[in-house]
Amino acid sequence: MAVRILISVLIISLFSFTYASDPSPLQDFCVAVKDNEAKVFVNGKICKDPNMVSADDFFFPGLNKPGNTSNAQGSKVTPVNVNQLPGLNTLGISLVRIDYAPYGLNPPHTHPRATEVLVVVEGTLFVGFVTSNPADPNVKNKLFTKTLYPGDVFVFPEGLIHFQFNVGKTNAFVFAGLSSQNPGVITIANAVFGSDPPINLDVLTKAFQVDANVIKYLQAQFK
């Protein structure tokens, strides 16, 4: 009986792992058709006629060029997902380059559909992620942090809130791979305080346990 239970658990685990990220391709490739050219809307992207596919569908230039970090956060994410590189469709992987000005921040955010593995090319970064809510309500979410240097690698598990902060006095940049052709991103502050329409004031004051004027001030930063 114990052996049967163990085998059942292993089968369920393997089945779950198989479907944990993007579906596997059923052909050599499925180059994405642009959304505005598609005749139907599907979960993902529909395939371009294979006879119309060219090498350019699998090519993206320019990741050697730094992104413009002249913004409030001092960082710039340059994505290479299925929207920029249609050949990634159904392949379950994408890439970003992230540039940071001195003391630049890639603010707390999540990727709802992907794990991220990051490698530092230049600079010194303070990075971290926070666990999901523990089963015990008396236990706090745990924060894992690390200071990274060129050549260091760090992984952010799928769906967890994470961040990177350039603690150096010089520019920094990284490359990161993500386990989805379209990982998605939810920047926490933007989503909570900058949604359209705004989240009800009573909801946020109660959630954050602060005065309404504090919430109004924070919402004003994202208009």
Binding residues for oxalate: 106, 111, 116
User: Which residues belong to the annotated binding site for Mn(2+)?
Assistant: 109, 111, 116, 162
CA distance 48 to 89: 10
Contacts of 48 (CB under 8 A, 6+ apart): 30, 31, 32, 33, 57, 86
- Any idea what DSSP says for residue 47? B
Burial class from Cβ neighbours inside 10 Å (0-12, 13-18, 19+) for residue 119 reads: middle
How far apart CA 107 and CA 102 sit, in angstroms, is 14
Which residues belong to the annotated binding site? 106, 109, 111, 116, 162
Token pair for residue 88?
A: 């990634």
Residue 32, beta-bridge partner list: 47
User: Measured over all CA atoms, what is the biggest interatomic distance in the chain, rounded to whole angstroms?
Assistant: 63
CA dist 173 and 204 (Å) reads 35
